[in-house]
Amino acid sequence: MILYLMRHANAGVYRGNPLLDAKRGLVKEGKEQCVLMARVLSALKVQVDVVVSSPLKRSLQTAQLVGTELGYDAKVEISPALAPNASYNDFQALMNCYANREGVLAVGHNPNVFQFLGRMITGNGGAAIRVRKGSVARIDMDCHPPRLQWLIDTRTARLIYASVTKSSRPKTSRK
């Protein structure tokens, strides 16, 4: 299985009340990050069989926007194993449920996303990998330990996208 582990896109400022914070949705910049990352994933020919998200609104919106852009037409599955208070054992159980799938997009939160990623690829959590909002990591789960193949954040994606959309032809003037 190839796991695409994604941190939710920008949802603005944290709200002190956990109940209100759970309902915090993406801001305009976050929606733009989703579209950008989905375009990058499409350009990389990413195919997903299932999209699974944390139950919090910002993760669910991220999963839906990216999934739609990738051509995923089934319903996004919701799992508490991707919620902010989930444990690594919860996450492992979730991954075992999808072990027979070829491509899985899982959308969650920090600090879980970087902790899960670090623990998966080292076996003991020894890796500290920064996962910014909207970032996506591709992990080959068939290797032992799972192998991080790439990690793309929105800043890098913007730079790549801007460089490939510019015309390669020299500009000529007819004055």
The predicted-structure confidence for 15-38, as pLDDT tens digits, reads as follows 777 777 778 899 999 999 999 999
C-beta of residue 86 within 8 angstroms of C-beta of residue 95: no
Q: What is the mean pLDDT of residues 3-21?
A: 86
Query: What is the value of pTM for the model shown?
Result: 0.89
137-163 burial, b at 16+ Cβ within 10 Å, e below that, comes to bbbebeeeebebeebbbbeebeeeeee
What the chain holds in terms of domains, given with CATH numbers, is 2-162 (3.40.50.1240)
Confidence check: pLDDT of 131 > 80: yes
Mean pLDDT of the chain: 89
Query: What tens digit of pLDDT does each residue of 62-101 get?
Result: 999 999 999 999 999 999 999 999 999 999 999 999 999 9
| Residues present in the chain in total | 175
The pLDDT, as a whole number, for residue 29 is 95
pLDDT of residue 168: 54
Q: What's the confidence (pLDDT) of residue 57? A: 95
Instruction: Give the separation between CA 86 and CA 125, rounded to whole angstroms.
Output: 16
Do residues 21 and 15 make contact, with C-beta atoms less than 8 angstroms apart? yes
